[in-house]
């Protein structure tokens, strides 16, 4: 056999244009869902590389395609189906359009989409796209007048003030978040090796009060110290850069670094966070399908997003 078999057909998968075959939604209409998959190909790319992760959302839909006929099956990550009886399912609002010249317009479109989803009492799940997409997502939350904790799961700390003349790019995500009055707490998990941070970036983060749990500490102490650090009286935003995961699980990213988190570290952080407080918004960024190996990364990330949707549905019903 020279052609790879369609193994998804073995599980009864059908053609679907949405993630997991979920109902399609429009950002101009009423949204009746517990969470919303929103593809965000680009926000503020650096001129030297452009929108290198623009194909990320499509790759995650493809990565979850084998499950389109199996959402009613028992999911051992959740202790039941993704969407058990009595909860609202998620939906897929497609991909935002983007400009490779007008980055302010990209950011405005992302913020407006997040506001629309939150106004309908659903949780946005932004799927990127490079890691500049959390900045407008976080900015949109200011209008809720609530206070927020950020749980950043990432191999890098993203505290550069500017990089390549740009202050809204992927290396500045947490620095910009620290300047937002509605962000009270920043917890950063998974940093390791040599990354984008300069020593003064780390000093600025520590001076602000960011809490760090490097990947090595997670391997030795587990995730309990992270969960203990999450304030129960603030809603939570999860900013998940997939290079936080070990590249054996997620090769589909630009920032591969050995020694990353395992799948159940990531899943445990999301489940544990939801048990501690309400998750208000999420993003999964730095998805580079061109670097994937036999679809392993897309499979990993699509399963994490599916589990997250089940966690958010249960959160809403609680």
% of the chain at pLDDT higher than 90: 90
Overall number of domains in the chain: 1
- pLDDT confidence tier of residue 125, bands split at 50, 70 and 90: very high
Sheet hosting strand 183-189, strand order edge to edge: 23-24, 91-95, 35-40, 123-128, 279-285, 235-241, 148-153, 183-189, 211-213
**Digit-coded pLDDT (tens) for 265-315:** 999 999 999 999 999 999 999 999 999 999 999 999 999 999 999 999 999
Mean pLDDT throughout 190-199?
91
CATH number of 70's domain: 3.40.800.10
In a domain, 4, yes or no: no
In a domain, 2, yes or no: no
In a domain, 5, yes or no: no
% of the chain at pLDDT higher than 70: 95
**Digit-coded pLDDT (tens) for 20-52:** 999 999 999 999 999 999 999 999 999 999 999
Q: Is-contact 93 36, C-beta < 8 A? A: yes
Q: What is the pTM of this model?
A: 0.96
Mean pLDDT throughout 97-122?
97
pLDDT at 7: 59
Residue 317 phi, psi (nearest 5): -80, -15
In a domain, 304, yes or no: yes
Contacts of residue 28, defined as CB under 8 A and 6 or more positions apart, other chains included, come to none
In a domain, 9, yes or no: no
Q: Is-contact 44 166, C-beta < 8 A? A: yes
**Digit-coded pLDDT (tens) for 144-167:** 999 999 999 999 999 999 999 999
Residue among 197, 200, 235 at smallest CA distance from 214: 197
Domain of residue 128 covers: 16-317
């Amino acid at each position: 056999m020279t052609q790879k078999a369609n193994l998804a057909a073995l599980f009864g998968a059908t053609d679907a244009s949405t993630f997991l075959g979920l109902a399609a939604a429009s950002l101009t209409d009423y949204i009746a869902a517990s969470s919303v998959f929103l593809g965000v190909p680009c926000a503020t790319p650096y001129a030297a590389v452009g929108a290198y992760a623009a194909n990320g959302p499509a790759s995650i839909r493809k990565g979850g395609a084998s499950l389109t006929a199996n959402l009613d099956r028992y999911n051992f990550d959740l202790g039941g189906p993704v969407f058990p009886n009595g909860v609202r399912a998620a939906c897929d609002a497609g991909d935002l359009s983007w400009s490779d010249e007008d980055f302010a317009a990209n950011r405005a479109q992302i913020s407006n989409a997040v506001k629309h989803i939150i106004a309908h009492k659903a949780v946005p799940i932004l799927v990127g796209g490079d890691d500049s997409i959390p900045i407008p997502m976080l900015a949109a939350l200011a209008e809720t007048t609530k206070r927020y904790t950020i749980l950043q799961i990432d191999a890098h700390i993203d505290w550069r003030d500017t990089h390549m003349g740009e202050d809204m790019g992927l290396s500045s995500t947490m620095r910009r978040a620290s300047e937002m009055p509605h962000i009270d707490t920043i917890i950063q998990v998974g940093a390791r090796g040599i990354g984008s941070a300069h020593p003064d970036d780390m000093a600025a983060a520590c001076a602000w009060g960011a809490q760090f749990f490097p990947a090595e500490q997670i391997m030795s102490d587990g995730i309990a110290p992270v969960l203990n650090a999450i304030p129960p009286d603030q809603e939570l935003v999860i900013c998940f850069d997939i290079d936080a995961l070990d590249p054996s699980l997620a090769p589909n990213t630009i920032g591969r670094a050995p020694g990353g988190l395992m799948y159940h570290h990531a899943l445990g952080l999301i489940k544990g966070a939801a048990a501690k407080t309400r998750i208000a918004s999420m993003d999964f960024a730095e998805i580079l399908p061109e670097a994937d190996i036999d679809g392993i990364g897309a499979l990993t990330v699509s399963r994490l997003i599916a589990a997250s949707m089940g966690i958010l549905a249960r959160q809403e019903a609680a």
